[in-house]
Each structure stands twice: as structure tokens, then as C-alpha cells.
Structure 1
């Protein structure tokens, strides 16, 4: 079965990377959620996509330069503005606490390609272990050195190569990290029915992002893709049911 990951939660209809978006994704029947983590000035692991606060919150400046006590006071409604009241930037531990009570997968993207966030891998791993969720977590990042470090620190937690480029022999590249997941951008030559089959033979899971058109969902499901990331999990679940998967 092709798993459906809600990209930043059910972000097509709710403010991204918020507890509301994650809860709605699980209610819609998603198999998992995808979220992004950054580190605050005081070393807290927060769930937010951008390095800057401006787009998704009512604050300005960088996450790395702002203490969590300030970030937690801001609205995280982003483009939705007044449509959603009281949504905040969650801590990673808030999401992991939710996962203790429900059975879903979590793809944690470490956003450390622009700012290195020294020690973030250790903090994220510590929190995952605290909640006993090692078997339900996938780490991913555009920073592949970070994924290699995650292997050193926690070889039992799955890792994936996140990329917008086309990688030659991705199964060999993933093995060098090592990682067992390959997360390329939909619309690049890296994502094809042939790639799904080839990577499956080499025990590498292909999970493209971001898949929002029903026709793309259909062919990925029929091709046997391990999973895909979508802003519209409810629609994806419906398409999967139509495909009889």
C-alpha cells in the first residue's frame, strides 16, 4: 500500500505545521505527517518550515535569534490570518506527545541546510527516544551530512535523502549515507514508474513531494510508490480508495 503523508499537516486547508493541521490530517486518514524543525535561540526544537518567522507567524526575524517564550506568543495562522484563532508554533515534543496517543508515522525534516544548528540532531533524537517512537519516525534533510550524523547517533531510526536534484544511481548514493528513503521533488526525472520499481528492487523507498494533483496521486499509487507527501491528505485517501489500494 502507498502511504499518504500530510505535508506540514493538512496544510491545504489549515495553517501549516500547527497542531490543528496535524490533527486534521490524522482525522482525514493520513498514514503519517511531515513536519519541519528548527532550533530557537534558547535551544528548543520548534516545528516551523522557514528559517525566518515572517511568513507563517506574526513575528519578524529568524527562529535562531528568538527565544521560544517569544515565539509561543505569536499567531501561526500565516496566510490564513483571521480565519484561525489561537494557533501557535508547536514544539516537536507537542507533536510527539500526540503521536503517543495515536498510531501514525512522522517524517521529521531537519531544516539545517542554511543554518547548521549545532546539536539539533542530538536534541531531536533525544526527544524521539523519550517518547519511544523510534519505529515510527523517518528523518530527512537536504543536508545529507546531517543524515549521516543521524545514522551515527541513531542507526535504528530511518533516514531519507531529500533532494530537488536528480541523483545518479540514487540507491548507491543512499547506501553511502546510509539511508533507506529517497524523497525527490515531483516533476523531476527522478520520479517515474521505472524509478519506483528500480529503487524497490534495491530496497530504497521512493516518496516524492509535493503531490497535490489527483492524476499524480493515481499513477504513483498504481506504480507502487512507497509513499508520497501531499497538502491534501483527505483527497489522497479518497483517490487511494478509488484505486482499490
Structure 2
């Protein structure tokens, strides 16, 4: 069965990378949740996509220029809807706590955002946080940055890892060689042009970001391991329809 990952939570219906977005993902029954982490000025992991807070908060500047307490003063939901203006940038610890409280039992993919900015020690901080306790859900790591993935493999060889990539023929060849990863997550626009190459890929494939129903249906038809979507509730309903139609032909 093709698994459905909520991209930054249910980010098509709620402000991305917020507690409300992750809670909605659990409520609708997603197979996986994907989020992004950066490191603050005081060395804490916070969940936000960009290197700056400009796009998704009412503040300005780099995440790394602020402490957690300072970041908590910004509105991280009002840009999406005034209904969510009380949402703040969550710490990774807060998200882990929320998912535990909600008894989430799917997969949590933590993407380490070191592709644009280097955060010394971020891999060690992440592994220490994850290994601090046993979680009711499965944790995966992902990154665009191959150096980060190699560091994570050395620090934590057990937790599965994925390489997120724009995609190319070279990517496919290297992905089969790169033993640090179990999964490759290509951009969907590349994925749809690369069926022949992907058949030869030994790693599991989980494209991003798959938002239209024809794109979702294509993923079901190609039987990919999973895909990331901003609209996980819509994807779940479509998968149910796809499975009913497949069953009707048996």
C-alpha cells in the first residue's frame, strides 16, 4: 500500500509546521508526518521550513538569530488565516510530546534543513533528542544534504534515512550506491519523467509534493512506497477509492 505523508503536517488546510497542523494529520489518520528542523541561537531544534521566519511568521530574520523564547513571541499561523494567529513556532520536543499525547503510531520524518545553512552540531542534537526516550511512532531522518545524512548514519545507524532531491540520472545512480539511506524522495516533476529509471532503483521511492488527484492516482498506479502531500485527507479518500476499484476487478 502506498503510504501518505502529511507534508509539513496538513499544510494545505492548516498553517504548515504548527502543532494544529500536526494534530489534524493525526486526526485524519495519516501514515506519516513530515516536518523540518532548524537550530536556534540557544541550540534548540525548532520546527519551521525556511532558514528565515519571514514567510510564515510576522517577524523577520534568520531562525539562528533568535532564542526559542524570542521565536515564541511571533505569530506563526496568522499568515494562513486569522483563525490560527495564536499558533507559534513549535520546538521539536513540543511536537514529539504532542504526537505521544495523541498516541500517534505512524511514521515521523524529520527533515534536517542544512541544504542552505550549516548548523554546527544539529545532527548530534537531533539524535540526542530522539534517543532520549522510546516513542510510540517510528522516526525517520531526511535531508537534501548528503553530508548531514552521512553524519546521521554515523551517529545513529539504526534510524532509517531518506535523501530528498530535485532529481537527475546521477541522483539515481548515486542513491543506489549511498548506503546511508533507505529511501529516496524525488521532486514529483522529476518523478513523472523517470519511470524507467525508477524501476531500476533499489531504494524505496517517496516523491514530493503530490497535490492533485491525477498525481496521487499516478503514485498509486506506480505503487511507490509513499508520497508527500499538502492535502493528506484528500489523498486518503482517493486511496480508498483506488483500492475499491482495484478490488472490484478481482
Q: TM-score range by the shorter chain?
A: over 0.9
Give the aligned partner of residue 217 of structure 2.
218
1:196-215 correspondence runs (5 A): 196-199=198-201, 202=202, 204-215=203-214
- Is 2:32 the partner of 1:39? no
Give the aligned partner of residue 30 of structure 1.
30
Give the aligned partner of residue 148 of structure 2.
146
**In 2, are the aligned partners of 1:134 and 1:157 still within 8 Å (CA)?**
no
Structure 2 gap ranges (5+)? 245-250
- Is 2:236 the partner of 1:237? yes
Runs of 4+ residues over 6 Å off in structure 1: none
* TM-score, scaled to structure 2: 0.91
Q: What secondary structure sits across from 2:24 in the alignment?
A: helix
Q: What secondary structure sits across from 1:80 in the alignment?
A: coil
- Return closer, same or farther for 1:131/1:196 CA change in 2, 3 Å cut-off: farther
Q: CA deviation at 1:71?
A: 0.4
**In 1, are the aligned partners of 2:78 and 2:85 still within 8 Å (CA)?**
no
Give the aligned partner of residue 20 of structure 2.
20
**In 1, are the aligned partners of 2:6 and 2:231 still within 8 Å (CA)?**
yes
**In 2, are the aligned partners of 1:185 and 1:191 still within 8 Å (CA)?**
no
Q: Of 112, 116, 119, which residue of structure 2 is paired with 1:117? A: 119
Q: CA deviation at 1:170?
A: 1.9
1:1-245 correspondence runs (5 A): 1-77=1-77, 79-100=79-100, 101-133=103-135, 136-168=138-170, 170=172, 172-189=174-191, 192-199=194-201, 202=202, 204-244=203-243
Q: CA deviation at 1:168?
A: 2.6
Question: Whole-Å Cα distance in 1 between the matches of residues 131 and 193 of structure 2?
Answer: 33
Q: What secondary structure sits across from 1:79 in the alignment?
A: coil
Question: Whole-Å Cα distance in 2 between the matches of residues 187 and 174 of structure 1?
Answer: 21
CA RMSD in angstroms comes to: 1.9
Q: CA deviation at 1:235?
A: 0.3
Kindly tell me the number of residue pairs found equivalent between the two proteins: 242
**In 2, are the aligned partners of 1:97 and 1:131 still within 8 Å (CA)?**
no
**In 2, are the aligned partners of 1:174 and 1:181 still within 8 Å (CA)?**
no
- Return closer, same or farther for 1:126/1:167 CA change in 2, 3 Å cut-off: farther
Q: CA deviation at 1:134?
A: 9.6
Question: Whole-Å Cα distance in 2 between the matches of residues 190 and 222 of structure 1?
Answer: 12
* TM-score, scaled to structure 1: 0.92
Q: What secondary structure sits across from 1:188 in the alignment?
A: helix
Question: Whole-Å Cα distance in 1 between the matches of residues 180 and 72 of structure 2?
Answer: 36
Question: Whole-Å Cα distance in 2 between the matches of residues 54 and 40 of structure 1?
Answer: 15
**Higher mean displacement: 129-138 or 209-218:** 129-138
Question: Whole-Å Cα distance in 1 between the matches of residues 220 and 108 of structure 2?
Answer: 20
